[in-house]
Amino acid sequence: GQQLNQSPQSMFIQEGEDVSMNCTSSSIFNTWLWYKQDPGEGPVLLIALYKAGELTSNGRLTAQFGITRKDSFLNISASIPSDVGIYFCAGLLIYNQGGKLIFGQGTELSVKP
């Protein structure tokens, strides 16, 4: 199946630091999404990107949809302990009359107070 390459796999940072993670693909996507997953729970949508080049913010989070439509990044500024979790990028694949999300492998974020 199609895959998204997400990096880094894990990050250990100090509270207050900025964080950056990214996803690349060999395929073109029309929509990029970023999710956060807390331990033992389902992913929750953070940011959705619908246009190439689009830059969108949600509080301390900023994400961009790459111009080539094959990549996206997520930045978190001034990290806090509750930012801990796994962050996933996802590309929406549209086909015929349906659609499905393809996920990256995830970036596990640890924040040291």
The residues binding another protein (CB under 8 A) are 1, 6, 9, 31, 33, 40-45, 88, 90, 92-94, 97-106
Q: Of 45 and 78, which CB lies nearer to another protein in the complex structure?
A: 45
Q: How many other C-beta atoms are found inside a 10 Å radius of the C-beta of residue 61?
A: 18
CB-based burial label for 42 (10 Å; 0-12, 13-18, 19+):
exposed
Beta carbon of residue 49, minimum distance to another protein (angstroms, whole number): 13
| Cβ(91)–Cβ(31) below 8 Å | yes
Q: Of 13 and 92, which CB lies nearer to another protein in the complex structure?
A: 92
Nearest to 89 by CA among 30, 29, 4: 4
Q: Of 77 and 102, which CB lies nearer to another protein in the complex structure?
A: 102
Beta carbon of residue 87, minimum distance to another protein (angstroms, whole number): 11
